Structure 1
Amino acid sequence: MGIGSWLGLWFGLSIPAILAMYLLKRKFIDTKVPSHLLWQRVMKNLEANRPWQKLQNRLLLWLQLLVAAVLVFALMKPYWWAPDGGKGHVVLVADTSGSMGATLSIGHGETAEESLGQMKRMIKDYLRQEAKDSDITLLSMNAEPNVVISREKDRSRALEAVDSLQVYYGRAAYDETLSLASALTRDETDAEVVVFTDGQWRGNPDSIPFRVPVKVMKTDAHTGSNLALQQFGVKDGADGRTAVAVVNNSGGAAKEANVNMYGDGKLLQTETARMKPGETVTLTFRNVPDAEVYRAELEGQDDYAADNEAYAFLQRNESPRILLLTRGNLFLEKALQLTGAEVVKMTLTGKEGEASGSGEPGTAAAAVPENAPDLIVIDGQTPSFAAQGDWQKLIDRTPVWTVGGSDGKMDVSGGQPKLENHPVNRYASYNGVYIGSLLNRPLPDWATPIVSIDGHPAVIAGTANGQPRLSFLFDLEDTDFPLSAEFPIVVHEAVSWLTGGGGKNLGRHTAGTRVEIPIAADTVSARWIAKDGLAQKLKVPEIKAETGEKGINALQQMPTVPGLYVFEQQNREGQTTGYFAESSADPFEAKRGEPNAKLAAIGQAADENGTAASRAVEAAAANNGGERRQLPLMTLLSCLALLIILVEWGVYQRGRSI
């Protein structure tokens, strides 16, 4: 039991007041008066009677003292500590990031368990005990916060929602999910937030304000080790074909492990990696034979299996062939040659874009090259012959990069370019680059701005007819960009992106991210199919490709379970084409470091009064053993006082006041 307010003791002064009333009360004696002549004597006796007298055992006195005592106790706001049935609304935040797929390190003879399984049991226990009478909202972490259930009262449905939680191996939205929990409870007074996690947390959770109590409940710590295949690639070189694997030991003890390399499922070579705690080593596999898909695998098992495999696709040193249509641009030509590509220049002359090859005069209807180029670069206005006949067919089936043009221009006065995340912008910043004007043209359907100036597109990229497209909406001669040290780098990345889009593999991407895929014009359906790795072990079902108003989107989300996939496209005739892609786990989840210390400070940036009160309640509950809540007794005592007053009135009515 506890007391909420000691100020109620002031009302205790009513008790001596009641006693004083009885002490000062006059006692009258029944007197027979035979004649009115005796009234004068009686009155004198009464006037001589003293008010102070000995207290007598009277029921009415005890009832009045009891009422006063009960009222005094009620005004002191007493309460009982009772088992906590939970707040009115409980928001549960489930950490479903990749690290929750790690196996807990337990004693010998016990069955291994993933962190996710333990977290589910903890949430269910919390629902049955601490939040048995609460409305439940369950949030999980994907690329964005995910509301699994909202204000659910049915416990069976809440338990089913907990069972449905799955590990998300991509970049999880840690702080974004906490922000959503904060927003859901911002205007509530009878709510709380409970975070279930393994303690491995990216971001700055203590910066998120809460106006309700916040609890953090952790699963058992990962005391074991983890070996990770951080990188893996295969490349042709002067010394033949080689493969390189980078292995990291994030555990606290030295480790030795074999790394097996497979080609199309066949074991090719095995190398041994010996690593100190926290060390990263590089293994080289030489004289690698031909294969469509290569796989590196860490032999044995560790705590985290999602990063024990990596895939690679052969990168050949064949130089791409580039057809450059230009009226003369030495900077662009040299930058293209620096990429290692074979550049064939076709000089354009005249207003209609007549062409000549190797410096010889030509006609408006220039001949289509016998060997189709890997990339067509058009510098300046697109020639008229490129929009008709065989030239149009060639451009439709070839990656195209256009630079500048003859459209009307808008002045941007050298504004600072804003860059979006795109492979062409990988090493670019455009700092110090002056661009005075941009082409004022409507954007084509395939275009997405990747560089903008004052809200106007400056560089656009996308896919048309299954082929990558890139366009610089400014003339190079109107800028100082060719003089920048970034210019050859941007050209190199542009050529790499444009010429790599027509291959049969999409490379390695983090699970859940978006990747641009060449979609053939006649494709009617597409899907992701798991071929190997963790995805195949978990029997990930086929995933249909995302579609929009114009059909299948060129920008697709990578599957969220690590492994090797094929993005398969099918046309109307039933013919299929596929692109291999590796979905990899977020490298952050593989770290076996110390838990984020800022987790303990969640909610301290909230409203000061609310947070202080919640901490006081939690401290009191801890001192009294277990999770408890205050059960006020004021209402019960007030009802008891009213009952006693009714009894007192009955006593008085029966004439037992004296």
Structure 2
Amino acid sequence: MGFSNILFLWASILPLIVLLYYFFRKKYKDQPISSTIFWEEVMQETKASPYLKHLQKNALLYLQLLALILFVLALMNPFIKTKEIAGEQSIWIVDTSATMLAGQTFAQHKEEMKSLASEFTGQPLTIITTGDEPKTIIRQETDSSAIHKAIDSLEVTYEEEQLIKAIDVAQAYVGETATSIYLFTDSVERGELPISSEQIKWIVKGASKDLQNVSIKRFAATSIGEEALALIQLKNETDEKKQVELILQDSEGRVIVEEGIALKEQEEMTKTFEKLPLTESLFATIQVEDDYEVDNSMVTILGNNLSQIVIDQQMHQLVQKGFQALNTEVKLVPSDQLATIKEALIVTNQVELLGKTDSPLILIGRDDELSEEVNSLVDVSEDALFAFSNLEDVYVNSVYPGFDQFETIATIGEMPFIQRSSKGDIVILADIQSTDWPLHPSFPLFLWSLQNELLEGTTSLGTFSPNESRGVSLAAGDWSIYSKDDEYISSFENANQFKAPTKPGLYTVRSNEEEKLLIVQLSENEREIKEGTSFELGTLQNKGNEESSKKLIIIWLLIPILLLLVIEWEVQRRRGFTN
């Protein structure tokens, strides 16, 4: 608080004059009287309420002093300093990823946004949300009601934040205008923000610190004969020991495993459950005291329609031994008979089979091209195939050319190493004998993931990220998406424009004649929370980056002054103006 007219402090002499007047006003002498009939009663009343009598006697003095003091303060023009948005415009980047639900971070940021919006003094505001495709909620908006409505409409989309994309959109709106960019997120490193422009000031609002999280990092299952095998990985991100209650349920909701697990601080534990009853899907849930519930559950689908794996006789024995180690029915078939195989997973290097068979296919190497030497490390994406296998230490001597129309999910240098076709087939662009991969623990785990994905694909559409748009293998027609509880979600006709639901969980895609399952799963990055960070970065040059304003409060003084004058008049009236 401050005063803009401090010179009017001289007016404080006015209440002093009133006070001196009361000191030197006419006084009355006590006069004894002969009658004392009511004396005792008057003394009792005085003793019962001396302070009230004193206030009644001097009420006019106190009212006049208070009114004059407030009048002096009003003359000095008091104000309160309030924060003001720097720059000529403001852009808000709002992180809507799943981790914003940790510790109620998203709700807290919305309240802070509303508080900032109420302090605007006319600057235009643009709000951008994060995700694979950043969205502009409002642009260059100055209307307060429209801004508050936009803030209320913000919701968590569970997608990865992908801040770089949202930042690129924000910078496109900056131009030559001095801009304050507010980033409402949970955590971001200073190095991730561009500070080359003198037109931008960054204000980062992070999550609360000391948030605790215990998560299910990975969960997968497969069928082996008449039984099921499940693998689950838990992680304790806290610095204290956590007691976790792990529950596995089948597709009917029946509990088939319930186990208490003690996780040490920062411990990552992998558990295997064998001889589980066969079921269409498995649900894993952990009950633990932490600040982030979204990553405490996970679901997986068991592909049990196909159990047989057919391997080309020309394939290296390491491939055969690798699949046989999975305790799965493996059959060796001559190369010329593979095209006639149905309802089995085929492993070969014959490129021509990619378009000639409806069976799921694993292509290891190519028989139509020559390989070329490479000298670089393997770099994998966040694809679900690599959930349990790390390929960073794998040595590869040579690779084959990739397929232009296929999606690359692992690379060596700038060359494709592992690809996925639009149909879902997997292509490994190297001969096993030209790598040391079989010597690594990741090799059988990768084969297990391959089998799990390709065999389950006959009864499901696979696993998707929240709101992921991707073509799926479905017949033309009207399709609808339903939740696990049979709640309608959405409909679509074009299978090439399929978009997954927002919330993680198990869903069903239905048409009149067919039904398939799909899983919406949080990405690995959304299954861990980082320490919250809040900071400011950059300054606005030559644009007057003053971040405070003076809010006058004189109106709040004039009202009580008028009220005091009315009360003073009433006191004077009751006593009599002649007195």
TM-score range with shorter-chain normalisation? 0.5 to 0.7
After superposition, the Cα gap between the structure-2 partners of 1:218 and 1:513, relative to the gap in structure 1 and judged at 3 Å, is: same
In structure 2, the partner of 1:120 is 110
Structure 2 residue 294 is the aligned partner of structure 1 residue 306? yes
Correspondences of 1:551-590 after superposition (within 5 Å): 551-552=495-496, 558-566=500-508, 568-570=509-511, 574-584=512-522, 587-588=525-526, 590=528
Structure 2 residue 251 is the aligned partner of structure 1 residue 295? no
In structure 1, the partner of 2:159 is 170
After superposition, the Cα gap between the structure-2 partners of 1:373 and 1:322, relative to the gap in structure 1 and judged at 3 Å, is: farther
TM-score, reference length from structure 1:
0.56
In structure 2, the partner of 1:399 is 361
- Residue 94 of structure 1 aligns to which amino acid in structure 2? V
After superposition, the Cα gap between the structure-2 partners of 1:526 and 1:544, relative to the gap in structure 1 and judged at 3 Å, is: same
Q: Indicate conservation of the 8 Å contact 2:316/2:433, yes or no.
A: no
Residue range with higher mean Cα deviation, 232-241 or 134-143: 232-241
In structure 1, the partner of 2:215 is 228
In structure 1, the partner of 2:556 is none
Unmatched tracts of structure 1, length 5 or more: 3-79, 104-113, 349-354, 356-365, 628-658
RMSD: 5.0
Match 2:421 to one of 456, 462, 465: 462
Post-superposition shift, 1:137? 0.4
CA deviation map 1:474-497 (0-9, x unaligned)? 8x6xxxx62321378898647853
Q: Indicate conservation of the 8 Å contact 2:323/2:447, yes or no.
A: no
Post-superposition shift, 1:582? 4.2
After superposition, the Cα gap between the structure-2 partners of 1:324 and 1:437, relative to the gap in structure 1 and judged at 3 Å, is: closer
After superposition, the Cα gap between the structure-2 partners of 1:626 and 1:302, relative to the gap in structure 1 and judged at 3 Å, is: farther
Q: Indicate conservation of the 8 Å contact 2:385/2:450, yes or no.
A: yes
After superposition, the Cα gap between the structure-2 partners of 1:415 and 1:95, relative to the gap in structure 1 and judged at 3 Å, is: closer
Q: Indicate conservation of the 8 Å contact 1:97/1:168, yes or no.
A: yes
Q: Indicate conservation of the 8 Å contact 1:335/1:488, yes or no.
A: no
- SS for the counterpart of 1:134 is coil
Identical counterparts, % of pairs: 16
Correspondences of 1:125-136 after superposition (within 5 Å): 125-129=115-119, 131-136=120-125
CA deviation map 1:495-520 (0-9, x unaligned)? 85367324235666654567785x14
- SS for the counterpart of 1:552 is helix
Correspondences of 1:47-196 after superposition (within 5 Å): 86=85, 87-103=87-103, 114-129=104-119, 131-189=120-178, 191-196=179-184
Match 2:188 to one of 201, 215, 219: 201
Match 1:262 to one of 249, 273, 283: 249
Post-superposition shift, 1:218? 3.9
Q: Indicate conservation of the 8 Å contact 1:306/1:585, yes or no.
A: no
CA deviation map 1:632-658 (0-9, x unaligned)? xxxxxxxxxxxxxxxxxxxxxxxxxxx
Tell me the distance in 1 between the aligned counterparts of 2:393 and 2:262: 43
Tell me the distance in 2 between the aligned counterparts of 1:239 and 1:401: 28
Match 1:483 to one of 428, 434, 449: 434
Tell me the distance in 2 between the aligned counterparts of 1:587 and 1:273: 24
Task: Give the aligned length.
Answer: 468
CA deviation map 1:147-183 (0-9, x unaligned)? 2111123333222211111113232123443444344
Tell me the distance in 1 between the aligned counterparts of 2:375 and 2:140: 49
Tell me the distance in 2 between the aligned counterparts of 1:99 and 1:272: 26
In structure 1, the partner of 2:66 is none
Correspondences of 1:496-535 after superposition (within 5 Å): 497=450, 500-503=453-456, 504-505=459-460, 510-512=465-467, 517=472, 519-520=473-474, 522-531=475-484
Structure 2 residue 547 is the aligned partner of structure 1 residue 594? no
Post-superposition shift, 1:398? 4.9
- SS for the counterpart of 1:142 is coil
- Residue 374 of structure 1 aligns to which amino acid in structure 2? A
CA deviation map 1:444-475 (0-9, x unaligned)? 97x445678998878753144xxx3345778x
Tell me the distance in 2 between the aligned counterparts of 1:420 and 1:429: 8
In structure 1, the partner of 2:346 is 376
CA deviation map 1:427-455 (0-9, x unaligned)? 5579864558759xxx697x445678998
Tell me the distance in 2 between the aligned counterparts of 1:437 and 1:473: 5
Tell me the distance in 2 between the aligned counterparts of 1:132 and 1:299: 48
Tell me the distance in 2 between the aligned counterparts of 1:163 and 1:544: 27
Tell me the distance in 2 between the aligned counterparts of 1:525 and 1:583: 24
After superposition, the Cα gap between the structure-2 partners of 1:335 and 1:203, relative to the gap in structure 1 and judged at 3 Å, is: farther
TM-score, reference length from structure 2:
0.63
Tell me the distance in 2 between the aligned counterparts of 1:224 and 1:473: 43
Tell me the distance in 2 between the aligned counterparts of 1:96 and 1:213: 23
Tell me the distance in 1 between the aligned counterparts of 2:395 and 2:286: 46
Correspondences of 1:297-446 after superposition (within 5 Å): 297-299=285-287, 302-314=290-302, 320-324=308-312, 326=314, 344-347=331-334, 355=336, 372=342, 374-379=344-349, 382=352, 395-399=357-361, 401=363, 403-405=365-367, 421=381, 427-428=390-391, 433=396, 435=398
Post-superposition shift, 1:297? 2.8
- SS for the counterpart of 1:524 is coil
Unmatched tracts of structure 2, length 5 or more: 4-78, 553-579
Post-superposition shift, 1:312? 3.5
Residue range with higher mean Cα deviation, 430-439 or 205-214: 430-439
Post-superposition shift, 1:209? 3.6
Correspondences of 1:238-253 after superposition (within 5 Å): 246-251=233-238
